[in-house]
């Protein structure tokens, strides 16, 4: 799979935030395989090749070619080879020893060397490809990286390349697929004056056309998941169902889609949560039947969440006598910090805490992956809104005004 998963979609998201929504989107779980793709992918690949003379056909090395014979597949191979391997996840909590650091540097050096071999092969085997010049340039850069990381046996090869070009090509040319994705974003952006629905309608239509021409590209599904994030549940639900039917869907996209489905499946149905708050209070949302319940998914490390606290406090004080209750579901990992913040700001409602933070089992089961997220439960105990953070006061007032 190529690394162009989101591509130009990032521009669409930056320029078109949903009105009233300041959110902090959280990666599901760190993983080197997560297709959090750069705007332009490296789809170039090529190992070491032997050339006898300009008039003689390329001869594969003793071990055979490193890349497939298809140029585009070879391009994707180099794309993968050029990615920096992720450091071990356990280093986030346990600092590595000096020996472990040395071993990791050695593995990086080996990886850079292999990628350099693939870049060299690609440039020689596919000289007419749009990214042949890029492969030639990146070959030199990868050799430099390998040498800096300890591969002194590659010095002679680097020196043999001769003087560096004045303007090396250090970015690949976009593929036909990438150009189509950029055009789709541009077309959608041109409709901003007509509102978010028009933008998303157009973008979805363009993505469906692109998908027919490039059914193997996972980037299309990543872009569709961004529509799910920006659009209403009515728009998003069928998209999620469709994405989950894709048999070769990337695991990260499948998890995102499953989490979204988990949210949508709860809408307009009786809702309940049960936990013991950090202050010892027993909380069971179904026991609050007859009141409007605002469920606030938040964290002290989330700036938009913190910014929303004064509004929540004012809303609670004003409407609690009329039947409004708030339940906080924190994604914090430090209980002391949470308690201190709650006390300092005067947040009087109960707070759920799990040291697993954003990876809490409850948050995953509920499909929460952006903060703040606010849900509204009506007086009958029915979950009525999954995006209450947009026009919060208006939505809360409308539900409070409803009678049983």
Does residue 299 sit within a domain? yes
For residue 404, pLDDT beyond 50: yes
Average pLDDT over residues 203-225: 92
Sign of the Cα torsion 154, 155, 161, 165 reads: positive
User: Residue 179: inside a domain, yes or no?
Assistant: no
pLDDT recorded at residue 27? 38
User: Considering the chain, what percentage of its residues have pLDDT values greater than 90?
Assistant: 58
Buried b (16+ CB within 10 A) or exposed e, 75-113: bbbbbbbbeeeeeeeeeeeeeeeeeeeeebeeebbebbb
- Is the model's pLDDT at 129 over the cut of 70? yes
Mean pLDDT for 148-154 is 91
What is the pLDDT averaged over residues 310-323? 96
In a domain, 153, yes or no: yes
> Residue 217 carries which DSSP code?
-
The stretch 33-41 carries a mean pLDDT of 34
Range scoring the smallest mean pLDDT among 109-123, 168-182, 228-242: 168-182
DSSP 247-300: TT--HHHHHHHHHHHHHHHHTTSB---EEE-TTS-EEEGGGGTTSEEEEEEE-T
Q: Which of 93, 128, 159 is where one domain is finished? A: 159
Q: pLDDT at position 178, please?
A: 87
Residues 191-214: what's their mean pLDDT?
Answer: 93
The 10 Å Cβ neighbour count of residue 36 is 13
Residue where a domain terminates, one of 159, 179, 213? 159
Instruction: Using the predicted structure, report yes or no on whether residue 278 has a pLDDT greater than 70.
Output: yes
User: pLDDT-derived band of residue 9, with 50, 70 and 90 as boundaries?
Assistant: very low
Q: Give a yes or no: residue 295 inside a domain.
A: yes
- Whether residue 164 lies inside any domain: the answer is no
CA 122/CA 131 separation, integer angstroms: 9
| pTM (whole model) above 0.75 | no
Say what the pLDDT of residue 92 is: 64
Segment 5-19 mean pLDDT: 40
Q: What is the DSSP string of 47-104?
A: ---B---TTS--B--TT--SS-SSHHHHHHHHHHHTSPPPPPGGGGTSPPPHHHHHHH
Per-residue pLDDT of 113-128, as tens digits, reads 999 999 999 999 999 9
Assigned domain for 85 exists: yes
Cβ–Cβ under 8 Å, residues 169 and 136: yes
For residues 168-174, give the mean pLDDT: 80
**pLDDT (average), residues 170-184:** 87
How many structural domains are present in the chain? 2
Q: Is the pLDDT of residue 201 over 60?
A: yes
Read off the pLDDT band of 176 (50, 70, 90): confident
Kindly give the interhelix angle for 219-230 and 251-266, rounded to the nearest 10 degrees: 30
| CATH number of the domain encompassing residue 356 | 3.40.30.10
Q: Domain of residue 118: give its range.
A: 41-159
Classify residue 112: in a domain, yes or no.
yes
Listed ranges 133-142, 181-190, 344-353; the one with the highest mean pLDDT: 344-353
């Amino acid at each position: 799979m190529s690394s162009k998963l989101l591509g130009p979609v990032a521009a669409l998201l930056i320029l078109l935030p949903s009105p009233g929504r300041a959110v902090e989107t959280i990666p599901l779980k760190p993983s080197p395989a997560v297709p959090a793709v750069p705007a332009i992918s490296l789809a170039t690949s090529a190992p070491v090749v032997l050339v006898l003379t300009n008039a003689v056909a390329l001869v594969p090395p003793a071990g055979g070619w490193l890349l497939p014979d298809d140029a585009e597949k070879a391009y994707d191979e180099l794309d993968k080879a050029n990615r920096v391997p992720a450091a071990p996840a356990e280093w986030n909590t346990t600092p590595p020893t000096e020996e472990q650091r040395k071993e990791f540097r050695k593995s990086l050096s080996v990886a850079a060397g292999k990628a350099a071999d693939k870049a060299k092969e690609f440039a020689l085997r596919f000289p007419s490809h749009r990214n042949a010049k890029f492969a030639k340039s990146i070959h030199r850069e990868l050799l430099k990286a390998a040498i800096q990381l300890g591969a002194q046996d590659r010095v002679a090869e680097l020196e043999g390349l001769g003087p560096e070009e004045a303007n090396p090509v250090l970015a690949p040319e976009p593929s036909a697929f990438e150009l189509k994705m950029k055009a789709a974003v541009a077309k959608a952006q041109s409709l901003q004056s007509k509102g978010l629905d028009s933008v998303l309608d157009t973008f979805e239509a363009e993505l469906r056309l692109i998908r027919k021409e490039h059914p193997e590209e996972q980037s299309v599904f990543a872009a569709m998941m961004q529509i799910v994030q920006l659009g209403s549940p009515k728009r998003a639900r069928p998209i999620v169902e469709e994405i989950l039917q894709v048999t070769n869907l990337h695991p990260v996209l499948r998890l995102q889609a499953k989490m979204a489905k988990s949210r949508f499946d709860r809408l307009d149905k009786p809702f309940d949560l049960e936990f013991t708050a950090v202050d010892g209070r027993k909380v069971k949302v179904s026991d609050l039947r007859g009141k409007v319940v605002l469920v606030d998914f938040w964290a002290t490390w989330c700036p938009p969440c913190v910014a929303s606290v004064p509004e929540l406090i004012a809303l609670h004080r004003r409407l609690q006598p009329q039947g409004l209750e708030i339940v906080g579901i924190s994604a914090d990992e430090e209980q002391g910090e949470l308690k201190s913040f709650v006390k300092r700001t005067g947040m009087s409602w109960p707070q759920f805490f799990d040291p697993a933070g954003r990876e809490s089992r409850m948050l995953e089961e509920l499909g929460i992956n952006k903060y703040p997220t606010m849900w509204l439960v009506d007086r009958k105990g029915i979950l009525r809104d999954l995006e209450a953070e947009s026009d919060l006061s208006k939505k809360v007032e409308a539900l409070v005004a409803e009678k049983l």
